[in-house]
Structure 1
Amino acid sequence: MSARVIMHADVDAFFASVEQAVNPAYRNKPVLVGGSGDRSVVMAASYEARRFGVHSAMPMSQARRLCPHAVHLPANGKLYRRYSRHVMRVFLDYTPLVEPISIDEAYLDVTGTERLFGPPLEVARMIKQRISSELGITVSIGMGRNRLLAKLASDWDKPDGLRWIRDEQLPHVLDELPVKRLPGIGQVAAGKLRELGVRTVGQLRSLSSSLLEQQFGKSGAYLYSASRGEGNDGVSFYSQPPLRKQVSEETTLAEDSADLSALHTLLLEMADNLARRLRKQGMLGRTVMLKIRFPDFKTVSRSVTMLQPADTWQPIYHSAVELLDKLGLGGRSVRLIGIGVTNLSDQTADQLILFGDESVAQAGKLDTACDELILRYGDGVITQARRLR
């Protein structure tokens, strides 16, 4: 049986690189992609712009101060999606095991493809050459026996990098890497590790599993394994599920209630659940529907279309509360209450609009972080304070 070979392919400075590819006048110049409003953030910065200290998610006003001569362009979602589909088609020419992580990166399992395409390094070079010649952009590819190593390797020599972390190099090849390079290590965890005298992966590996679990709980087992280059090697088959028309959730109350505070809490819980489902499916919703059923089984529904499509609980919840308040219960009790989100679209289609606003971007990052905690530790590990009343 062939040894497992996982690739992580990440297009370099995707949005900015696409703009440079289709507009020769922008090549070799600093390019910033993002909105122009006061709260806009940088969605992508070319490597020419990064030399001036600019990076993604930085306030656009700060980026313009650091690099005032940069070409500033609005996002072109249709163009980026077209390029993304082309990139994924190239990947699929070499393996059906392609798992997109975002619009510009994916994991590939190329185990056992040697008879068709040659050694794994040759496959990686063919992919890089095709994307460069067909699209005029570059992709960095990392390789290893699992997803962790592949991800670390793809970040090693950016841009246009190619690195394979082989088994015989482990674990010492990771020794000098900063611990923050390990996926899932944020500022808080890195700060706690510094307090333990740990700044590199090699230093992390010197700590016992019992100490790490004592300090970091269940995450300690991940830190212990990651410092040794151990991780998940699974890659899913590529799929494009059909777009759903809506997501919805409703609940029948244990007892009929006219308590607005209690109804608001139920709406909050449902909005959170629906938002999580939307993110899991890679969808955004623009229209929020409220459903109310009274004790006499009379049912009414109301809907409102939001200014921006959303996959976070805040706009869904506030829209539902607005609809409930406008409905005006007038003291009437409620038997059933529900929320639906419709007018759905592909997340990659609209995330370009959403990340033009810093506040929306921050809310999205927070909800994504909560998703990861729930996935790791289960439902109930984190919730809104209001739901604890």
Structure 2
Amino acid sequence: MNRAPRSARTEQDRGHEEAGCSILHVDLDAFVASVELARRPQLRGLPVVVGSATGVVVAATYEARAFGVHPETPMATALLQCPQAVVVPPDHHAYREVSAGVMRVLGDVTALVEQVGVDGAFLDVAGARRRWGPPTVIADLIRRQVREQFGLTCSVGIGSTKLVARLASGRAKPDGVLLVPRAATVDFLRDLPVGALLSVGEKAETALAGRGIRTVAELADADVSVVQHAVGRVAGAHLVDLAWGRDPRPVSPGRDVGSIDAEESFGTPVADLAAVEEKAHELADRCAVRLRANGLVSRTITVKIRTTDRRTLTRSRSLVTPTDIGRELFLAARGLVAGVDLRGAHVRLVGVRADGLSRAPTSIRQPTPDEASDVPVRAWWDAERALGELDEGFESGPIGAGASQPGGVSSRSTTTIVPADLS
């Protein structure tokens, strides 16, 4: 591996490192909290909590998180944990405006921008390099413009695939850039726990651990049949591909995030469906908060119930009109709860998931003919769905209002390159 300091490396080395790495993942740091701090700079350094007095926390600054306040915490609980918190009501219109402005900045760099939630996007800059320069230069340009125009920081991951770029942006936080050269992709992934792969949910992770597979390295080195026995034929082959850095998904402008969900366990399992219904109401409201924070609406509602006899029951219902209203989500969820037969068992966990997402107030986006006919990409999404069904829910990772990075703005140089053997 070439571990020479970046300043000692030749321009030819850097060119090799960035060759084939045309995918960027731009992630706005602590987006909701940072927007509020940009509007109210006098609050910087204070424990700021964004949310309504009777709802849940939408976002919290690091100073508030130090007291145990996190997104989706009930506001009453948050104020008990941090009585000195400054509560700021959410302004979803402002978040959508700022998000749209950032997306315009990204759109000026390349037409290939795939927005992922209100606070992130993938870019394919292969065709933009001649105009703007190599990917690290483009990343710094984006960060500078976002800082100057909106007073926000963002972290950028650069890689040869969407999976690597997204993982790299998480490692670059806050306010940094991480480039993973194509030659370093497998080594970069091997160091991660298997749960870091965006497809792996809790149940799949447990099933793999039962066969001694806890790291991506162990996943890559395992016999495919062992992985398939743990998580299923399609999902198993898919995970092995991911472990070796194989991800065929292109940057697809207009594609939305897959789902938003909330779930909670009962301290003491309950047998009363009325208690389950009450919890579903709370969870539906949480989903609605996150939908609005991300400028999304949902067409399909799914309820998950896990019982003391180790059954996991899932029921889904499609809505006539996509919505981001908590009451409408709850009414659908309540009907699903009413139809569940517990068979005398108690309920340990309840979850509500909003699927079929689209941008508010647009209708559900249908796949383009190219997407529908792209066999590798369709296979990838089929495998994602198989893993989601294994875990009774898609693992889409945190989006939008839940990010937990500092709200301050920095102009430090933060580009990092994962070492690769270029000999």
TM-score bucket of the superposed structures, by smaller chain: 0.5 to 0.7
Matches within 5 A, 1:167-246: 167-217=182-232, 218-237=234-253
Q: 1:138 aligns with which of 153, 156, 163?
A: 153
Mark the CA change 1:192 to 1:58 in structure 2 (over 3 Å): closer, same or farther. farther
Structure 2 Cα separation of the partners of residues 112 and 308 of structure 1 = 37
Aligned residue for 1:219, secondary structure, equals helix
Structure 1 Cα separation of the partners of residues 390 and 181 of structure 2 = 37
Structure 2 Cα separation of the partners of residues 84 and 130 of structure 1 = 13
Mind listing any 5+ residue stretches in structure 2 that lack a counterpart?
A: 1-18, 257-290, 300-319, 336-349, 358-380, 393-423
Structure 1 Cα separation of the partners of residues 210 and 125 of structure 2 = 40
1:254 corresponds in structure 2 to none
Contact residue 205 and residue 228 of structure 1 kept, 8 A? yes
Contact residue 164 and residue 185 of structure 2 kept, 8 A? no
Contact residue 49 and residue 61 of structure 2 kept, 8 A? yes
- Alignment length (residue pairs): 280
Structure 2 Cα separation of the partners of residues 13 and 61 of structure 1 = 22
**Higher RCO (CA-CA < 8 Å; seq separation 6+):** 2
Mark the CA change 1:22 to 1:282 in structure 2 (over 3 Å): closer, same or farther. closer
Aligned residue for 2:247, secondary structure, equals coil
1:363 corresponds in structure 2 to 352
2:92 corresponds in structure 1 to 77
1:299 corresponds in structure 2 to none
**Post-superposition shift, 1:62?**
3.8
Residue identity in the other structure for 2:32: F
Q: 2:42 aligns with which of 9, 20, 25?
A: 25
Mark the CA change 1:64 to 1:193 in structure 2 (over 3 Å): closer, same or farther. farther
Contact residue 374 and residue 382 of structure 1 kept, 8 A? no
Mind listing any 5+ residue stretches in structure 1 that lack a counterpart?
A: 241-277, 286-303, 320-360, 384-389
Aligned residue for 1:185, secondary structure, equals coil
Contact residue 204 and residue 390 of structure 2 kept, 8 A? no
**Post-superposition shift, 1:316?**
5.2
Q: CA RMSD in A?
A: 3.8
Q: Do structure 1's residue 8 and structure 2's residue 25 form an aligned pair?
A: yes
Of the structure 1 ranges 215-224 and 119-128, higher mean CA displacement relative to structure 2 is found in 215-224
Structure 1 Cα separation of the partners of residues 63 and 354 of structure 2 = 26
Of the structure 1 ranges 21-30 and 61-70, higher mean CA displacement relative to structure 2 is found in 61-70
**Post-superposition shift, 1:208?**
1.7
Contact residue 374 and residue 381 of structure 1 kept, 8 A? no
Structure 2 Cα separation of the partners of residues 8 and 223 of structure 1 = 21
Residues 124-174 of structure 1: per-residue CA shift (max 9 Å, x gap): 000001101111111111111111001100100211121111112131122
1:115 corresponds in structure 2 to 130
Aligned residue for 2:212, secondary structure, equals coil
**Post-superposition shift, 1:194?**
2.5
Q: Do structure 1's residue 157 and structure 2's residue 172 form an aligned pair?
A: yes
Residue identity in the other structure for 2:38: A
Residues 321-370 of structure 1: per-residue CA shift (max 9 Å, x gap): xxxxxxxxxxxxxxxxxxxxxxxxxxxxxxxxxxxxxxxx95235788xx
Mark the CA change 1:167 to 1:57 in structure 2 (over 3 Å): closer, same or farther. same
Work out the percentage of aligned pairs sharing the same amino acid.
Answer: 36
Residue identity in the other structure for 2:161: N
**Post-superposition shift, 1:33?**
1.4
Residues 31-85 of structure 1: per-residue CA shift (max 9 Å, x gap): 2212222xx3222122333344433233334433443332222210111111111
Contact residue 13 and residue 47 of structure 1 kept, 8 A? no
Structure 2 Cα separation of the partners of residues 178 and 201 of structure 1 = 6
Alignment TM-score, normalising by the size of structure 1: 0.63
Contact residue 219 and residue 227 of structure 2 kept, 8 A? no
Mark the CA change 1:36 to 1:188 in structure 2 (over 3 Å): closer, same or farther. farther
Residue identity in the other structure for 1:232: P
Mark the CA change 1:33 to 1:232 in structure 2 (over 3 Å): closer, same or farther. farther
Alignment TM-score, normalising by the size of structure 2: 0.58
Contact residue 172 and residue 178 of structure 2 kept, 8 A? yes
Q: Which has the larger radius of gyration?
A: 1
Residues 249-296 of structure 1: per-residue CA shift (max 9 Å, x gap): xxxxxxxxxxxxxxxxxxxxxxxxxxxxx99x95468xxxxxxxxxxx
2:181 corresponds in structure 1 to 166
Structure 1 Cα separation of the partners of residues 72 and 21 of structure 2 = 35
Matches within 5 A, 1:217-296: 217=232, 218-237=234-253, 282-283=296-297
Q: Do structure 1's residue 88 and structure 2's residue 97 form an aligned pair?
A: no
Mark the CA change 1:311 to 1:284 in structure 2 (over 3 Å): closer, same or farther. farther
Structure 1 Cα separation of the partners of residues 248 and 84 of structure 2 = 44
Structure 1 Cα separation of the partners of residues 196 and 81 of structure 2 = 25
Q: Do structure 1's residue 376 and structure 2's residue 385 form an aligned pair?
A: yes
Contact residue 84 and residue 103 of structure 1 kept, 8 A? yes
